[in-house]
Structure 1
Amino acid sequence: MQQPEGFIVSEKEDYVCLLRKSLYGLKQSPRQWYKRFDSFMTSHDFKRSSLDSCVYFKKNSDGSFVYLLLYVDDMLIAAKDKGEVRKVKAQLSKRFETKDLGPAKKILGMEILRDRKASKLYLSQKGYIEKVLCRFNIQSAKPVSTTLAAHFRLSSALSPQSDDEIEYMSHVPYSSAVGSLMYAMVCSRPDLSYAVSAVSRYMANLDKEHWKAVQWILRYLRGTTDVCLQFGRTKDRVIGYVDADFARDLDRRRSLTGYVFTIGGCAISWKTTLQTTVALSTTEAEYMAITEACKEVIWLKGLFSELNEDLQISTVFCDSQSAIFLTKDQMFHERTKHIDVRYHFVRDIIARGDIVVSKISTHKNPIDMMTKSLPITKFEHCLDLVGVHC
């Protein structure tokens, strides 16, 4: 540690400052702010979710609920009665310096659009995506129809070999572009999952081909800025879709796991990731993917139960009959003894009846768009299945 510039005491240069108060911008500031806010919320009869520490809820005497979602210092408050919302706002303004932005229209780069007549709510990132396109000078480029074309076969073997290539790639804003794409994917664009997963593996060792792939994704966004998630009133339960692409990673031959969960036909949770171990067959890859999806189901069921919604039994659809059979087979035999024990816990969950794993036709499984490159017609069909609309 060093004394700040302009405040150096002569002959005491080795002295340091004693921090009396946590200041904005220091490493401990977020923790101190959260502790203060958490203490305030619990003192006003709010409960913190045990499954998501940034979700607070309170049950009123009439049985209704008030929800507050926190992201650093941005908040969303939801309740059936507007009076309850105003009450929470008044309590917050007494303790903190707040700014009331009225009905939620935008938060964290996500635009919230409502069609009250049709009882629809749309979640879009059009403004954020347009800023990203301008930042990387793609706003006038020719758009493409898929997130990543089939001719991109990315691997570490494409890394630059000469000093000139390394120097050239050091000035390419690859990490910044991938980070911008990743934020869009996490918030409202499940269609970007596979492409972002592919390009994000080469942050430290990239070549011109990797950069071309990122530019292709940006060109896809150029033509799909209006794409959004569409939510409506529904009594449908959570439905999950899961799939795996065997040995998709060309470097280590690991398989790719993809899953998405929907309510009323619209995506609420999704993920594409490389599996941590190498699968020896397609069945094993699908089996491990089902396990990862079931872990997400457990989290969703817990969160819904805390928010006063009974999720009952969830259904996870998979297009591999052999993997489904493996989840229900409690027998020990040579074909499964080498699979990591942590992947077998799904058998106990299914045996208890908490989750149902069912067969679905490959043509009706939207996860294909999250594990591989697809032709335009199939890609657009997958988008419709998870509620991603223009």
Structure 2
Amino acid sequence: MEQPEGFKVKGKEDLVCRLKKSLYGLKQAPRQWYKKFDSFMIEHRYRRTTSDHCVFVKRFDDGEFIILLLYINDMLIVGQNSDKISKLKKELSNSFAMKDLGPAKRIFGMSISLDRKNQRLRLSQENYIEKVLKWFNMDKAKPVSTPFPSHFKHSSKQGPTCEKEKENMAMVPYSSAVGSLMYAMICTRPDIVHAVGVVSRFLSKPGREHWNAMNWILRYLRCTSKTSLCFGGGKPALIGYTDADMAGDLDSRKSTSGYLITFSGGAVSWQSKL
């Protein structure tokens, strides 16, 4: 590490410092943190899932399990036995500086609602969507009931064709709107995945028609901001749906395929891909 400003040793300015421990903010700090946390979990007989190395699972001899999700330095712990969860928390607090926030109510901008009586779990991004609508002045827009109407046909030819149109579109926060919609799409809103996929194709050269489509999606969210994923309303089985159009893209004549996987009545995986 280079000698920090104000702490350089006279006559030895060309020397560097040797780090005895990783410092927060350095390029290697996230990797060192994960290595330390991973070694702790492996030592306590938790295993990483193959699909996501930040999800750790442990199955006990009595059939019960604990799932721990790590996101940077935030953790979400799910289990069937509160005593075993408390034991894990105690073991973690002995090795790391921790703060127990109690039962999970919010994580990553998502609200978690648990109805123990009816055995249902809901995930919602209502607050986040309301903020997005205010950012783009669409919180009082006229709502619509469909995310993307069938009469919308978009292509790259609808991009700006003259300097005046380019200047006008440069003032439009198109990429910011796409990014905001993507976060909702990835977390809890599979109903807008196709619509967001279409408008994201024109990030490099959006036109007025593309922006109108973006406004339509925001108007749909205005109508459905309270929509949430609900788990527990169906049988504990994986059910999949898939479909595709035929050469629907006007530019490349490629098809768009999509799928939706549900478990216990709620969507757990979805995709729309050109």
Q: TM-score, normalised on structure 2?
A: 0.90
**C-alpha deviation, 1:241, in angstroms:** 0.8
**Change beyond 3 A, Cα 1:212–1:38:** same
Map of 2:125 onto structure 1: 125
Q: Deviations over 1:258-287 (max 9, x none)?
A: 00011233211110011xxxxxxxxxxxxx
Map of 1:255 onto structure 2: 255
Q: Which one-letter code corresponds to 1:177 in the other structure?
A: A
Map of 1:268 onto structure 2: 268
Map of 2:215 onto structure 1: 215
Map of 2:79 onto structure 1: 79
Q: Which one-letter code corresponds to 1:183 in the other structure?
A: Y
Write the distance in 2 (CA, Å) between the matches of 1:16 and 1:252.
57
Any gaps of 5 or more consecutive residues in structure 2?
none
Write the distance in 1 (CA, Å) between the matches of 2:267 and 2:108.
19
1:152 aligns with 2:152: yes
Is the 2:199–2:214 Cα contact (8 Å) retained in structure 1?
yes
Structure (1/2) with the larger helix percentage: 1
1:195 aligns with 2:195: yes
Q: Which one-letter code corresponds to 1:159 in the other structure?
A: G
Q: Which one-letter code corresponds to 2:202 in the other structure?
A: Y
- Alignment RMSD (CA, Å): 2.5
Question: Percent of pairs identical after alignment?
Answer: 55
**C-alpha deviation, 1:138, in angstroms:** 1.1
Write the distance in 2 (CA, Å) between the matches of 1:19 and 1:252.
55
**Change beyond 3 A, Cα 1:168–1:24:** farther
**Change beyond 3 A, Cα 1:64–1:214:** same
Is the 2:195–2:217 Cα contact (8 Å) retained in structure 1?
yes
Alignment of 1:91-106 (within 5 A): 91-106=91-106
**Change beyond 3 A, Cα 1:71–1:148:** same
**Change beyond 3 A, Cα 1:93–1:156:** same
Map of 2:55 onto structure 1: 55
Write the distance in 1 (CA, Å) between the matches of 2:154 and 2:189.
22
**C-alpha deviation, 1:154, in angstroms:** 1.5
Q: Deviations over 1:332-389 (max 9, x none)?
A: xxxxxxxxxxxxxxxxxxxxxxxxxxxxxxxxxxxxxxxxxxxxxxxxxxxxxxxxxx
1:240 aligns with 2:240: yes
**Change beyond 3 A, Cα 1:199–1:2:** farther
**Change beyond 3 A, Cα 1:72–1:250:** same
1:69 aligns with 2:94: no
Aligned length: 273
Map of 1:349 onto structure 2: none
**Change beyond 3 A, Cα 1:219–1:97:** same
**Change beyond 3 A, Cα 1:153–1:17:** farther
Q: Deviations over 1:28-47 (max 9, x none)?
A: 33222211111111111211
Write the distance in 2 (CA, Å) between the matches of 1:19 and 1:242.
55
Which piece of structure 1 moves more, 212-221 or 233-242? 233-242
**Change beyond 3 A, Cα 1:18–1:228:** same
**C-alpha deviation, 1:234, in angstroms:** 4.9
**Change beyond 3 A, Cα 1:7–1:138:** farther
Write the distance in 2 (CA, Å) between the matches of 1:4 and 1:219.
51
Other structure's SS at 2:92 match: helix
**C-alpha deviation, 1:75, in angstroms:** 1.2
Is the 2:257–2:273 Cα contact (8 Å) retained in structure 1?
yes
